[in-house]
């Protein structure tokens, strides 16, 4: 079984390197990590927001994909301006890709309750291919390069719904310029969601994210979740593409400032018999500020 798992992962790594479709990682709890795909989201939480997330995909396979991300963003003294910084490290076998990007947003009111934000993202992508076995016939060379890139986005929101479009990486960049092709291809995202009151203590939040990448299949994530007593989220999602999967998650507000969450994905594609599923944990820290009248700001659902 170990040999079979190694063979499967070797094929996945070989395909990833040869195909040249270097894509941004995807998350089950994308609705709580919007800054990773849309820079116009920076500052939208009306206060400092820090998010840490770790994803262990296809657990049980040697060299399986793992992703860790850390981001923070905040509005400035001029509340129309938001700034953020994000770091993502994505590993698959001998491959690793690191993203370090800054975010800038500018918001304008378009109605009494809605505002439109324009965002820019800029930074560097680091691509590494390092194999400790120099006698490996497939991976006998190492790469380590940094390349700049930039992105842009729009985000329209109220306290009850949101919609956005973005392209976090606009340039098609050859990340190694060597024997193996590893192109960072531009991707386009569309996101949307809303909150509906089912009762005084229960809210329903459907959301969707779609991703289109040049040279790769489109993906569509549909999520439904419920919020109980402004503290406990529970939901389920389904991803439509050539590697579709079903996911479920729970998030809990353990204190005024801290929220934790866990998600589990079960793949429905051919890899399912060889995988223990995908595990994802998230930690969100948002220190709540007190207004002059000693009342907290209203809850933010997006």
DSSP string, 229-285: TTTEEEEEEEEESTT-EEEEEEEEE-SSSEEEEEEEEEE-STTGGG---EEEEEEEE
pLDDT tens, residue by residue, 38-96: 999 999 998 999 999 999 988 878 788 999 999 999 999 998 999 999 999 999 887 88
Q: Which CATH architecture has domain 2-285?
A: Beta Barrel (2.40)
Averaged pLDDT of the chain: 84
pLDDT for res 138: 57
Question: Across residues 118-135, what is the average pLDDT?
Answer: 83
**Regarding predicted confidence, which is higher, 58 or 180?**
58
C-alpha to C-alpha distance for 293 and 221, rounded to whole angstroms = 41
Q: Which of the two residues, 234 and 62, has the higher pLDDT score?
A: 234
**Least-confidence region, from 2-11, 107-116, 140-149, 260-269:** 2-11
Q: Which long-range contacts (CB under 8 A, 24 or more apart) does 294-299 make?
A: 297/46, 297/47, 298/159, 299/230
Q: What is the pTM of this model?
A: 0.86
Q: How confident is the model at residue 100 (pLDDT cuts 50, 70, 90)?
A: very high
∠ CA 103-108-112, nearest 5°, is 135
pLDDT classification of 168: cutoffs 50, 70, 90: very high
Sequence-separated (6 or more) residues with CB below 8 Å from residue 274: 4, 5, 8, 58, 60, 61
Query: Mean pLDDT throughout 277-288?
Result: 93
Confidence tier at 9 by pLDDT (50, 70, 90): very low
Task: Average the pLDDT over each of 28-42, 131-145, 192-206 and give the range with the smallest value.
Answer: 131-145
Supply the pLDDT for residue 31: 92
For residues 72 and 15, give the distance between their C-alpha atoms in angstroms, rounded to a whole number.
Answer: 33
pLDDT-based confidence at residue 183 (cuts at 50, 70, 90)? low
* From 55-59, 119-123, 230-234, 297-301, the region with the lowest mean pLDDT: 297-301
Q: Would you state the pLDDT for residue 21?
A: 47
Cα gap 232→152, rounded to integer Å = 33
pLDDT > 70: what percent of the chain? 79
- Domain layout of the chain by residue ranges: 2-285
C-alpha 265/C-alpha 171 separation (Å) is 31
Q: State the residue for tokens 């018999």.
A: 273
Residue 278 has pLDDT above 50, yes or no: yes
Q: Which residue has the higher pLDDT, 60 or 153?
A: 153
The band of 137, judged by pLDDT with boundaries at 50, 70 and 90, is: low
pLDDT of residue 242: 56
CB 114 within 8 A of CB 158: yes
Closest by CA to 188, choosing from 213, 155, 163, is: 213
Is pLDDT at 179 greater than 90 in this prediction? no
What is the C-alpha radius of gyration for the chain, rounded to an integer number of angstroms?
20
Find all residues with CB under 8 Å of 214, minimum gap 6, and list them.
172, 185, 186, 187
What DSSP string runs through 139-191?
Answer: ----EEEEEEEEEEEEEEE-SSEEEEEEES--S-EESS-SSS--EE--EEEEE
Higher per-residue pLDDT: 174 or 97: 97
| pLDDT, tens digit, 9 for 90 and up, residues 235-258 | 999 988 756 789 999 999 999 999
pLDDT value at 295 more than 50: no
Decide: helix, strand or coil at residue 194.
strand
User: How distant, in Å, are the alpha carbons of 14, 141, 180, 262 from that of 132?
Assistant: 16, 10, 17, 33
Element (H, E) at 13: helix 2-19
Taking CB atoms within 8 Å and a gap of at least 24, the contacts of 8-12 are: 8/61, 8/271, 8/274, 9/61, 9/62, 9/63, 9/64, 9/93, 10/93, 10/138, 12/92, 12/93
The predicted pLDDT at position 175 comes to 64
């Amino acid at each position: 079984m170990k040999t079979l798992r190694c063979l499967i992962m070797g094929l996945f790594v070989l395909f990833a390197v040869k195909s040249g479709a270097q894509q941004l990682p995807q998350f089950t709890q994308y609705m709580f990590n919007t800054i990773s795909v849309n820079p116009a989201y920076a500052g939208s939480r009306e206060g400092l927001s820090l998010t840490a997330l770790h994803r262990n995909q296809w657990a049980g396979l040697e060299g399986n994909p793992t992703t860790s991300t850390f981001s923070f963003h905040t509005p400035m003294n001029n509340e129309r301006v938001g700034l953020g910084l994000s770091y993502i490290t994505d590993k698959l076998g001998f491959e690793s890709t690191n993203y370090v990007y800054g975010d800038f947003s500018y918001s304008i009111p378009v109605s009494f309750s809605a505002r439109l934000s324009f965002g820019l993202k800029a930074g560097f992508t680091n691509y590494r291919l390092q194999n400790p076995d120099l006698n490996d016939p497939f991976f006998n060379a190492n790469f380590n390069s940094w390349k700049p890139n930039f992105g842009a986005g729009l985000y329209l929101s109220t306290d009850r719904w949101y919609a956005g479009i973005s392209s976090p990486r606009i340039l098609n960049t050859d990340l190694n310029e060597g024997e193996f092709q590893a192109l960072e291809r531009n991707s386009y995202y569309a996101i949307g969601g809303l909150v509906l009151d089912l009762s005084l203590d229960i809210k329903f939040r459907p959301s969707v994210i779609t991703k289109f990448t040049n040279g790769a299949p489109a993906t569509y994530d549909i999520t439904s979740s419920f919020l109980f007593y402004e503290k406990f989220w529970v939901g389920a999602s389904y991803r439509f593409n050539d590697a579709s999967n079903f996911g479920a998650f729970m998030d809990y507000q353990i204190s005024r400032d801290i929220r934790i969450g866990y998600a589990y994905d079960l793949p429905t594609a051919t890899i399912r018999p060889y995988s223990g599923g995908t595990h994802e944990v998230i930690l969100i820290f948002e220190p709540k500020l007190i207004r002059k009248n000693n009342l907290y700001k209203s809850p933010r659902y997006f």
